[in-house]
């Protein structure tokens, strides 16, 4: 009986660890996706700047804020 209780506790903990690892992996991919989208928007804005012949490269405040936020997250969790 004690063996059965110990075994169920062990498997529950193992499942929790697997779920935690899966969750962290998902967060990493969400981070990488958002980073990729931001860099894509920046390169589009840069290309638009070059094709229109303007010397001013504008990025909206939201994109700048998100990029700074991603840098903080990367420092903390080292995703990339």
Whether the predicted model's global pTM rises above the 0.85 cut: no
Question: Which of 42, 44, 43 is closest to 64 using CA atoms?
Answer: 42
- pLDDT, one tens digit for every residue, the chain (80 residues): 444 444 445 555 567 778 777 877 788 888 889 989 988 888 887 787 778 876 666 677 888 888 899 899 889 888 77
List the domain boundaries for the chain: 2-77
Q: State residue 41's pLDDT score.
A: 83
Through-space distance between the first and last CA atoms of the chain, rounded to whole angstroms: 47
Question: How many Cα neighbours within 13 Å face the side chain of 72?
Answer: 6
Q: State residue 72's pLDDT score.
A: 92
Q: State residue 42's pLDDT score.
A: 82
């Amino acid at each position: 009986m004690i063996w059965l209780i110990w075994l169920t506790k062990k498997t529950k903990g193992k499942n929790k660890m697997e779920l935690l690892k899966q969750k962290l992996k998902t967060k990493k991919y969400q981070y990488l996706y958002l980073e990729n989208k931001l860099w894509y928007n920046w390169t589009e804005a840069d290309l638009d700047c070059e094709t229109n012949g303007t010397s001013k490269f504008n990025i909206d405040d939201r994109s700048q804020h998100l990029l700074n936020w991603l840098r903080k997250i990367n420092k903390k969790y080292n995703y990339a």
